[in-house]
Structure 1
Amino acid sequence: MTDVLAIGFDPRTIPGFDPEPVLAGIERSGKAMAERGLTEDLLLIDFAELDGRAQARIVERLRARQYDCVVVGGGIRKPAELLELFQTVVNLVHWNQPRAAIAFNSGPDDSADWVLKALEQRATHNIG
């Protein structure tokens, strides 16, 4: 099995946001990962934890075990006002999982595809 950590916001904690479509996407993503032989470990960050608690939770999870790939979700990557958090998350992955491929998605429904592309790129470059 290929171990994947997916990091994103818990959509239920984002003020003024309808979480249901994202939660349904997360469920579909988990099924798509399993269908492709990927074991997904999901880390959903509380939107209110942007004061450093989120980073501590991410580091704790990254140090808990080795992952083949880490997906940084679009909710963390896309909003310009979260650029500093996005940079921090990418660096935390790089520093704590240096052998893991890093993938980005446009939404939960294409996470598995991007994981496979990132793993293929890693293999092409003879890493891992």
Structure 2
Amino acid sequence: MSTANDPGGAAPRKRVLIVGLEPKFVDFSQFPGLDEARLTAGLQAAEQAVAAAGFDVAWCLTDVAWEQAEPLLRERLAADEFAAIVIGAGIRTPAPLLLLFERVVNLVHEAAPRAHLCFNTSPETTAAAVLRWVRP
């Protein structure tokens, strides 16, 4: 899931990185009413909404294991400069993932200190979370 820059010769759009769990790794017992299909659809809708708000979107969907998440997140953060980084509720809210959340925040702080950190409550609130801190 990624959105390309506008080829019309306009200035490059600001980039947003969305960090979350790959749907197959989500413990859906933590999120009543949500399942893998609904989450996947929500992630696609979030990408469309952020792009419609005027941003390019990059993804970092990962495993719950830091050993898997860290190299992937480092690679994504090194690939570009991001105006905003959204850390999704799937990483942020379940108590068993607190250490993963702390590690993600600290790595983002280290590797992308100029990016605004944004937090959504669901895929549907991703664009609003970005727009609280960054304008296209």
TM over 0.5: yes
Partner of 1:41: 58
Partner of 1:57: 72
State the distance in 2 between where 1:113 and 1:106 align: 10
SS of equivalent residue, structure 1 residue 119:
coil
Candidates 90, 97, 114, aligned match of 1:75 = 90
Spell out, residue by residue over 1:47-74, the C-alpha distance to the aligned partner (whole angstroms, 9 max, x if none).
4xx0412111111111111100000000
Give the alignment's TM-score, normalised by structure 1: 0.85
Candidates 107, 112, 125, aligned match of 1:92 = 107
Question: Can you give the 5+ residue segments of structure 2 that lack an aligned partner in the other structure?
Answer: 1-12, 30-34
Where is the helix percentage greater, Structure 1 or Structure 2? 1
Please tell me whether residue 23 in structure 1 is matched to residue 35 in structure 2: no
Spell out, residue by residue over 1:86-107, the C-alpha distance to the aligned partner (whole angstroms, 9 max, x if none).
0110111110001100001101
How far residue 14 of structure 1 moved from its aligned partner, in angstroms, is 3.5
Report sequence identity in percent.
36
State the distance in 1 between where 2:92 and 2:62 align: 13
Question: Can you give the 5+ residue segments of structure 1 that lack an aligned partner in the other structure?
Answer: 121-128
Aligned residue pairs: how many? Answer: 118
Over aligned residues, Cα RMSD in angstroms? 1.5
Instruction: State the 4+ residue runs in structure 1 displaced beyond 6 angstroms.
Output: none
Conservation of the 8 A alpha-carbon contact between 2:26 and 2:90: no
Partner of 1:123: none
State the distance in 2 between where 1:16 and 1:114 align: 23
User: AA paired with 1:10?
Assistant: E
